[in-house]
Structure 1
């Protein structure tokens, strides 16, 4: 960590939060993309039967891997975190059959949302597509089960640093100057803990430097966040959460045994006024 991490108090950025029950709307998604809504929590947004089958497919997937990038967890899919574009897109291509197999013959709720948003943005003269390169293209989501055994199952972090510092060979780097939206579907939740915690702080480059997380945004120390107010979302199977990933957020501690917490995760945001990119 930086030696000056406690020298300046983090700036407080009061969020705009919406919580409700039902299906997610494309208008709300666009509002998050435009920075008008900070966090959206939609309860009972997709079928629990579909959720159970996705979870079973994840557990039995031949593509299930342990993360080896300093963030504890198991996953199916690909992550751009701490990878160059060639490695990420090659991994995305290899993982695609395993990601598709998570849904089997089910109606894929992530793809359904992607397609609905694509149609809506097209009406506004904006293209929505998967990020790509000469090495391949991104998948529509990845499946993750966090397993850090400390205070948090996933430590406090922001999603902008890893996009901002992704490198010039990534077209998605352009999204970092706008809102990096993080989309989460929850097919399985632990009996206790595993909630999404959002701190009212949107770090700048200087804040990340003070914490020694300039290129990764991970993790922010407990001391740094001690006096920052936060909001905790009580998640259940079938919920969807969509947040401005520039705000510091994390996952609260959960039991080592019992039901696993599983999330289907994607990122997306404006690369240009007429282009929204989607990736994992």
Structure 2
């Protein structure tokens, strides 16, 4: 039997890009194709929009506490550890609350989705929300992590949960390609709450050794202690887009003052001519 403490973590090559301004569809496609591992765009959407989204989240009647072992509050739906029927039914129920986060604002997530949809259409590729007979995914979910330990969100990867989603999910095919994780940040804690990415893309064998084969959550400090990492200093109005197959987490954050709020989505190629988007 392998011992997780002594499991050797392979260091994976990374390509990281940080800059200020608007996110481009070319960069998004580079992440989807595995050419860029992580993209951090500073001041990518207005702080005024960010503040209004945050206020709408705090006052949302759709605000819920997570009860799946990952501490936090949310508005929307997550496919994590749910069968497809449950997830899509919850997505339909949550849709008005997700829409209400943006009110009469220009929705920056939908704007990115629509721009990417047009670009992919020009290349003969369809981009759409994942769906089933029970409904379809929302364009994003809003999350505020609240773990009080070493991390606000423990180190994890996003591929395991897609691999193990099951055949009733059409999105499970994306696990064969890059699972891109897209984060918009309307609010950031005064201290901490940074995105940390380790230079390690676990295999199925790696996940088995850590007992996270179906969830990808959480990886231990001992497993990652010899793996280099990059920490992204986030501000309200930033966007981060990463290859979710790499281990990543959120550093501990201050409890006083502003909360850390993220608008999160996943997307990736299910086929050469189809990119699916979900939460």
After TM superposition, the score normalised by the length of structure 2 is: 0.99
SS of residue matched to 1:9: coil
- C-alpha distance after superposition, 1:202-244 (max 9, x if no partner): 0000000000000000000000000000000000000000000
**Shift >6 Å, 4+ stretches:** none
2:176 and 2:9 map into 1 onto residues whose CA distance is 20
Paired with 1:14 and 1:54, the residues of 2 have a C-alpha distance of: 36
Superposition deviation, residue 7 in structure 1: 3.7
Is the 8 Å Cα contact of residues 186 and 240 (structure 1) preserved in structure 2? yes
1:34 corresponds in structure 2 to: 33
Q: Distance in 2 between matches of 1:4 and 1:124?
A: 47
- Partner deviation per Cα, 1:224-279 (whole Å, 9 max, x = no partner): 00000000000000000000000000000002222100000000000000000000
Q: How does 1:108-187 map onto structure 2 within 5 Å?
A: 108-187=107-186
Specify every segment of 5 or more residues in structure 1 that has no aligned partner in the other structure, as ranges: none
Say if 2:62 and 2:97, in contact at 8 Å, map to a contact too. yes
Instruction: Identify the residue that residue 68 of structure 2 maps to in structure 1.
Output: 69
Q: CA deviation at 1:6?
A: 3.0
Q: Offset at 1:3?
A: 5.4
SS of the residue 2:276 aligns to: strand
Give the distance between the partners of 2:145 and 2:135, measured in 1 at CA.
Answer: 27
8 Å Cα contact 1:80/1:88 also seen in 2:
yes
CA-CA distance at 1:191 after TM superposition: 0.3
Task: Tell me the alpha carbon deviations over residues 135-194 of structure 1, each in whole angstroms, 9 at most, x when there is no partner.
Answer: 000000000000000000000000000000000000000000100000000000000100
Q: Matched residues in 2 for 1:250 and 1:8: separation?
A: 20
Matched, 1:267 2:238: no
- Equivalent pair of 2:7/2:223 in contact (CA under 8 Å): no
After TM superposition, the structure 1 stretch with the greater mean CA deviation from structure 2, 152-161 or 257-266, is 257-266
Match of 2:3, SS state, is: coil
Alpha-carbon separation, structure 2, partners of 1:134 and 1:4: 43
Equivalent residue of 1:193, what SS? Answer: coil
Q: Is the 8 A contact 1:149 1:256 kept in 2?
A: no
Asked if 2 retains the 8 angstrom alpha-carbon contact of 1:57 and 1:102, the reply is yes
Q: Secondary structure at the match of 1:6?
A: helix
Match for residue 79 of structure 2?
A: 80
- In 2, distance between residues paired with 1:14 and 1:65? 38
| Structure 1 counterpart of 2:225 | 226
Distance 2:274 2:153 in 1: 31
1:29 offset after TM fit, Å?
0.1
1:4 deviates by: 1.8
Q: How does 1:248-267 map to 2 (within 5 A)?
A: 248-267=247-266
User: Given that residues 6 and 223 in structure 2 are in contact (C-alpha distance below 8 angstroms), is that contact kept between their aligned partners in structure 1?
Assistant: no
The number of aligned residues is 279
Q: Kindly provide the CA deviation profile for residues 91-141 of structure 1, in whole angstroms up to 9, marking residues without a partner as x.
A: 000000000000000000000000000000001110000000000000000
Q: Calculate the TM-score normalised by the size of structure 1.
A: 0.99
Counterpart residue number, 1:242? 241
Q: Is the 8 A contact 1:6 1:224 kept in 2?
A: yes
2 CA distance for matches of 1:274 and 1:118?
A: 12
- SS, match of residue 183 in structure 1: strand
Displacement of 1:197 in angstroms is 0.1
